[in-house]
Structure 1
Amino acid sequence: MDTETLKRVKQALPAYQSRQIDATLKLLDDHNTVPFIARYRKEMTGDLNEVEIRDIQDEANRISKLQQRKQEVLNQISEQHQLTAKLTVAIKATTQLQQVEDLYLPYKQKRRTKATIAKDAGLYPLAQWVLQFKRAPVETVAGQYLNDAVPNLDSVLAGVHEILAEAIGDRAEFRDWIRRYTERNGVLTSQLKRGGKEKDDNQVYSIYYDFQSALKQLSPYQTLAMNRGEKAGVLTVKITVDEAAIDRYLQFQLVGRHRGPSVAIVETTYQDAYKRFIGPAIERELRRALTATAQTHAIQVFGNNLYHLLMQAPLKNHVVMGFDPAYRTGCKLAIMDGNGKYLAKQVIYPHKPASATKRSQAMPAFLKLLTDYHVDMIAIGNGTASRESEQFVADAIKQVDQEVRYTIVNEAGASVYSASAVARAEFPKFNVEERSAISIGRRLQDPLAELVKIDPKSVGVGQYQHDVSESGLDEQLDRVVETAVNQVGVDLNRASIELLAHISGLSKQTAKNIVAYREANGSFSSRPELKKVPRLGPKAYEQSVGFLRIINGKNVLDNTDIHPESYPVAKQVLEKLGLNLKQVGTPAVTLALEKVDIKNLSGQLNVGAATLQDILSALQRPGRDRRDEMPAPILRTDVLKMSDLKPGMKLQGTVRNVVDFGIFVDIGVKQDGLVHISHLSQSFVSNPAAVASVGDIVTVWVLAIDEQRQRIQLTMVAPND
């Protein structure tokens, strides 16, 4: 990166120290991954996390593209022999792409316009004369410009008008002022389009039939909703602004105190330039900017929700039954052991329209599976027939001696996985529904390991996801998955190709090679054995090895997030405390480490304090899974119906989705309840994500129930408060 670009990055990111930006960009240029830098290069970056590192990375990319565009514009204007020293300085000083494009506009190659035709007819000098506000009658001077192309005064004056209007429309300073004025004072209005109501059967857009909001107060979800309504032919959306103020500005800039016959021509011209060129262009720009901002926000909301969904606590060491509900085709059941290994499957028909015979056979078959395989957890998908299946399961578990509990699992994306090449490779002889039951059960056992097999856009935690840039959404969601997988780490001897492919430094191919090596040679016994995997070179090993765990391997440190490059330091720490590797993870280590002076010890060992702190934490808890600290899913033994709900009733629920206007909570009935943003807290809440995250267990009170519309209104503010 050149010096000028680096300087501009630092100017754009005043929250970061210069050395942090230098170090981060150098590490990225050296092909280090963001998770690796965040975990293992803390001293170099000043302990920046993944979000901060990507913030620097994104800004550096933006500035690089801006600098590249500036150079392209300078070259193109220079080729026209119109590049002046003043224009060069102005272009180089810009900080936004739009400013560059504004300055370039007068020199941009255009299709043949009325203004260019007028110039070809020799009217450019007359247009320049008009702007000098001479006292001579315009018609008299205009008569000197008659020719075959402009045979009368009307055509001459019309040509002058077009030349001036285009020139005024191209003036960068005019566009900049009017753009900023419109941003500050503009209003976005939305009206029902003629015939639009017939296209809005469910009145989805009714709130926007007669709606207006100041641009600076518009919420991102409102922007996306109106965009969708406009695209559907339901709404007419436009930006309005006080044009009188803009008229006064242009009058001051172009006419000022001048008097004479040219004034009326110039006034008419700048008013037309605004209506035809400047106004519509700025409206398009601002609508695009509003949409881009709203899309960015929606993508961030989706990413935040996805992260918390992936980081939900796993339910380890339980025999789980995945229950994929259905009516006509029967309920598909699949049983997995405590490690997620498939054990058995069956189809039962507990619901109509199945025959009475099939329905009578369903309960005995179900109970036999529970007892034969010692099932203690049941994951019921939340799709069609979910609540009837929940009632069936609740009735069944009352009939067995063992303790069995169930929970409703969001099955969004399970059908996508079931029909995928990944699922076919994993269970080639199963049908789609049977694979879906396995996926539902495994989502309860290890949400992260199962959900990485599915396109993140299919997991059902987005907001207006179909209205945003697909490439932008994909990029953000890939980053979120990468962050989640590497923060947790994976068991090298059990991880799927899909999980390994998200590990720092590994590609889909190296992930396949790891699994192939594992299948051919048996389990890995140590991290260095990874070096034997084909096409996994030194850089990939360095970047990935710290995130790959080996349980019960030759070296206990291989089951920690301590990087092998720091093993000597870890051993020195143990020696100084009079301990050894066999004691890692025991109370003796915890007791000894509580007395350690980190600052003093880091000086003795010549290692950074942040890295040393991570090493000490890992020595206390090998195999630590940070998801264990997350809320566990709510497990139930009985059914709650919407008819059971009463206003004021206190319940616990799981947050299923977080959107701009509130959160959706699963309280154990068929329909998730909405806690509107105004009911999240006694205090003002501007962002629901600051109050709750997907997977959180929250206490709520019922506000209102509308059984006909299947809507439940909840509050997180206790009635007495």
Structure 2
Amino acid sequence: MTITQQLAEQLHISAKQIDTVLSLLEEGATIPFIARYRKEKTGNLDEDQIKTIEERYAYQKNLQKRKEDVLRLIDEKGMLDENIKEQIESAQKLSTVEDLYRPYKEKKKTKASAAMAAGFGPLARSIIEHPDIDPNTLGDHDALVQAGYIIAERIADDAAIRAALKEQMIRYGTIDSKRKKDAQDEKKQFEVYYDFEVRIAAIKHFQTLALDRAEKEKVMTVTLSMDEERAEQKIVSRIVPRDAKTRPFIEQCVHDSMKRLLMPSIKRQIRSELKETADVKAVQTFGTNLEHLLMTRPIKQKRVLGFDPAFRTGCKLAVLDENGTMLTTAVIYPTAPHNDFEGSKKTLSSLIRKYGIDLIAIGNGTASRESEQFVAKVLKDFPAVQYIIVSEAGASVYSASKLAQEEFPELTVEKRSAISIGRRVQDPLSELVKIDPKSIGIGEYQHDVDQKMLSNALDFTTEKVVNKVGVNINTASKSILQYVSGLNKRSIAALYNAKTDHRIASRKEIATIKGISEKTYEQCIGFLRVPESEDPLDHTGIHPESYPTALAMLEKLHLNIHDLGERAFKRKLAIADAEKLAKDLGSDIYTVRDILKELSSPGLDPRDSLEAPLLKHDVLSMSDLKRGMKLEGTVRNVVSFGAFIDIGLHEDGLVHISKLSEQFVRDPNDIVHVGDIVTCFVEGVDEKKGRISLSMIPL
């Protein structure tokens, strides 16, 4: 089978679709562009499917290259036969190829290689080939010891034996952990693993990551165990008959091979594969969380006051207009040690009146609780103004960044943080793309997983969301432009300089900017919006290459482009026959459907259809919570064992996976996502530890 045929079988799609995707990628097309504007060629494959094809193909190419190298190396030694050739060519994994190559590989000096060099190879071969001859008649004790080293290594290098032993260990073995004597675990984060045992086949990915971290921090000893005596007997039986005179000697060789070579190697391999599987799952969870966070519905056309709480240094305030432009900043001291309630109230009230504040966004960090109580009291005089608690994870990272310094060179780090907190409410996507996703508090063991894999996955997720939402070219920051399909540093600089000089008036104008090549224009233009353009199609996600089709469609439907958005215009589009239009226009069904959708809702932000964030007037404290109390909250983070819910307190509550639904839940993301508004019930409160247990099942 060709690589394409293998992938088609694995992914349950046609070989033609895979060839098309690979061809488009080879031509320089980006994944968002292919998913959005080449549906007719790919059969409507989405970004995740295209990404999977790209990754799997790269792996298979690498696998094929390694197979060729291994076959060549074995052949150069004059040891290649049809059997080993067939095994290598049919291998599905790199690890299998390496196991098959193991017996032929040049090794560092070992006991076996020393014995071979000393001339004990023929004795070892004689013992293996003549099971009916007592080994003691073939050589003295020292000679047999040396021959045993050679046989032990051959056993350890046997790919079939290694595969069988590995499968046996995974199926029946256990992974155990014990707390080390005098180990430091002050926060007791690994307490559940102090005396822990689970079948290797049943271990959860987060348990693997926890054990790896505990071992790395020297808190725990982690071991893999199995019935080694039974495994040894199985290996012996593969090599010699039960009544063979060499059996006792072979048993000794197998025992030596198991203890010294096989088990340490197999255990390392299993631990490595468990880690790899855990990394993939943790990265997937992080990516899912990030996608939902970036898709949080923005609160548009509201004047927002960003409120960064603090004690000693005071609370920093930033007033933002409807577009996120900073109007003014201030510092107040309503909390300890200053306790200037009246002066702070006067300043905040003045800002609300002067700038017509609609919403106050309070960061959830230090002094958040006290700041919320202060704001709630002040807002009693302003019933139309609401507040919201905002996760400020990563705000300090952004505030101290070079980007923040360029945006607000005259402001302190804390005031920049207040601006970031306010903007997170107005346009979460535009603000969060400025921050390393690993700093925004939605991961699980993110510092323990493969960092390159994590970064690649999060970049892909961000790119997918940015292009799904679209970008207003005249308000776009460099941070968000770096995720737009087809743009690189050079083209971003060209675009940014052009829009800084004057507002861009049309998509056609972008094509004339020096530094924007024809290919770059093709890849990016459909994702860039120009609301100021006189051409209504420039406000939409319709690609300029499809403008003639869109205009021809409107002509067929007897509609005027300038009536875009009118009720009658939308009604006629809603009843249009997409299949007939595709045929009449010589187009394809996917392009026609997308054009109809875009014309029906030009410039529609897909985030607007999601649930709006919870806004508050009142204030809640842990002492207010009672078992069974019904609350509404926002999902802040989804992890393997449940979900953390913001119910308006400094502390998020945890809904354990067993409390997410009355039905069995395999993955919390099947039930909730970051940003969801959920109804939950208080199950328990531990004020000393600051822990809140919640349930989504009525108590």
Q: In the alignment, does 2:524 pair up with 1:544?
A: yes
Alignment partner, residue 409 of structure 2: 428
Q: Which residue of 2 aligns with 1:65?
A: 62
The equivalences for 1:441-452 within 5 A come to 441-452=422-433
Q: For residues 510-565 of structure 1, what are the alpha-carbon distances to aligned partners after superposition, in whole Å with 9 as ceiling and x for unaligned?
A: 11211101112x11111011112221101110000000001131100000000001
Equivalence for 2:27: 30
Counterpart amino acid of residue 429 in structure 1 = E
TM-score by length of 2: 0.98
Amino acid at match of 1:103: L
Retained in 1: the 8 A contact 2:471–2:527? yes
Equivalent of 1:5, from 3, 6, 11? 3
**Deviation (angstroms), 1:204:** 1.7
Name whichever of 376-385 and 250-259 sits farther off: 250-259
Equivalent position SS for 1:398: helix
Match of 1:193 among 180, 188, 206: 180
Which range moved further: 509-518 or 369-378? 509-518
Give the aligned partner of residue 161 of structure 1.
148
Structure 1 residues 29-88: Cα deviation after superposition (integer angstroms, max 9, x where no partner): 111101001101111111111111111111111111111111121222222222223222
Q: Distance in 1 between matches of 2:147 and 2:483?
A: 63
- Which of 51, 56, 64 aligns to 1:54? It is 51
Instruction: Indicate whether 1:21 and 2:15 are aligned.
Output: no
Residue of structure 1 aligned with 2:328, choices 334, 338, 344: 344
What TM-score do the two structures reach when normalised by structure 1? Answer: 0.95
C-alpha distance in structure 2 between counterparts of 1:232 and 1:245, whole Å: 34
State the shift of 1:170 in Å: 0.4
Quick one: distance in 2 between partners of 1:669 and 1:11? Answer: 50
Aligned pair 1:101/2:98, yes or no? yes
Q: Does 1:404 align with 2:392?
A: no
Q: Does 1:266 align with 2:247?
A: no
Matches within 5 A, 1:361-400: 361-400=343-382
Give distance in 2, aligned partners of 1:300 and 1:319: 36
Q: 8 Å contact 2:7–2:15 — kept in the other structure?
A: no
Q: How does 1:22-421 map to 2 (within 5 A)?
A: 22-133=19-130, 135-142=132-139, 153-196=140-183, 199-260=184-245, 262-354=246-338, 358-400=340-382, 403-421=384-402
In structure 1, what is the Cα distance between the partners aligned to 2:565 and 2:267? 63
**1: CA distance between counterparts of 2:551 and 2:698?**
53
Aligned residue for 1:338, secondary structure, equals: coil
Summarize the Cα distance change of 1:264–1:495 in structure 2 as closer, same or farther, 3 Å threshold.
Answer: same
Aligned counterpart, 1:150: none
How many correspondences in the alignment?
A: 699
Deviation at 1:136, TM superposition (A): 4.7
How many angstroms apart in 2 are the aligned matches of 1:533 and 1:498?
Answer: 20
Structure 2 match to 1:146: none
Q: What's the offset of the Cα at 1:398?
A: 1.1
Unaligned runs of 5+ in 1: 143-152
2:682 matches 1:702: yes
2:546 aligned residue: 566
Q: Residue 560 of structure 1 aligns to which amino acid in structure 2?
A: T
Pick from 576, 580, 588 the counterpart of residue 556 of structure 2.
576
- Structure 1 counterpart SS, 2:665: coil
Q: Give yes or no for contact 1:652–1:700 (8 Å, CA) kept in 2.
A: yes
Compared CA separation, residues 330 and 134, structure 1 to 2 (3 A): closer
Aligned 1:579-598 pairs, distance under 5 A: 579-598=559-578
Aligned to 1:149: none
Q: 3-state SS of the aligned residue for 2:285?
A: helix
Q: What amino acid is aligned across from residue 701 of structure 1 in structure 2?
A: F
Aligned counterpart, 2:606: 626
CA distance in structure 1 between the partners assigned to 2:474 and 2:244 by the alignment: 86
- CA contact 2:5–2:15 (8 Å) conserved in 1: no
Between the aligned partners of 1:434 and 1:512, the Cα distance in structure 2 is 27
How far, CA to CA, are the matches of 2:9 and 2:94 in structure 1? 16
Distance 1:544 1:86 in 2: 52
Decide whether the 8 Å contact of 1:586 with 1:620 is kept in 2: no
Task: Indicate how the Cα distance of structure 1 residues 120 and 378 shifts in structure 2: closer, same or farther if over 3 A, else same.
Answer: same
Rounded Cα–Cα distance in structure 1 between residues aligned with 2:345 and 2:144? 91
- Seen in structure 2, the aligned counterparts of structure 1 residues 454 and 135 have a Cα distance that, compared at 3 Å, is closer
State the one-letter code of the partner of 1:595: I
CA distance in 2 between counterparts of 1:669 and 1:47 reads 44
* 1:664 partnered with 2:644: yes
Letter paired with 2:91: T
Q: Equivalent residue of 1:632, what SS?
A: coil
**1:397-439 Cα deviation digits (max 9, x unpaired):** 1123x61100000000001100111101111111111100000
The C-alpha deviation readout for 1:379-413, integer Å capped at 9, x for no partner, is 1000000010011111111123x611000000000
The whole-number CA distance in structure 2 between the counterparts of 1:251 and 1:530 is: 73
Query: Given the alignment, which residue of 508, 512, 520 partners 2:493?
Result: 512
* Residue in 2 that maps onto 1:477: 458
Q: Which moved more, 1:98-107 or 1:227-236?
A: 227-236
Amino acid at match of 2:582: S
What residue identity is the alignment partner of 1:41? R
Partner Cα separation in structure 2 for residue 516 and residue 588 of structure 1? 41
CA RMSD of aligned residues (A): 1.3
Alpha-carbon shift at residue 359 of structure 1 (Å): 4.3
Residues 467-493 of structure 1: CA deviation (Å, up to 9, x unaligned):
101111100000010001000001011
Matches within 5 A, 1:584-663: 584-663=564-643
User: Structure 1 residue 180: deviation in Å?
Assistant: 1.4
Q: Distance in 2 between matches of 1:351 and 1:163?
A: 76
Partner amino acid, structure 1, of 2:10: A
Shift of 1:119: 0.9
Distance 1:515 1:597 in 2: 41
Kept in 2, the 8 Å contact 1:327–1:352? The answer is: yes
Q: Residue 6 of structure 1: SS of its match in structure 2? A: helix
Corresponding residue SS for 1:624 = coil
**Equivalents in 2 of 1:84, 1:586: separation in Å?**
75
Cα deviation 1:628-661 (Å, max 9, x = unaligned) = 0111110001111111111111110000000011
Q: Is the 8 A contact 2:241 2:247 kept in 1?
A: no
Q: Secondary structure at the match of 2:331?
A: strand
What amino acid sits opposite 2:111 in the alignment? K
Structure 2: gaps spanning 5 or more residues: none
**Cα displacement (A) at 1:137:** 4.4
Q: What is the alpha-carbon distance in structure 1 between the residues aligned to residue 254 and residue 131 of structure 2?
A: 18
- 2:436, 2:222 → 1: CA distance? 33
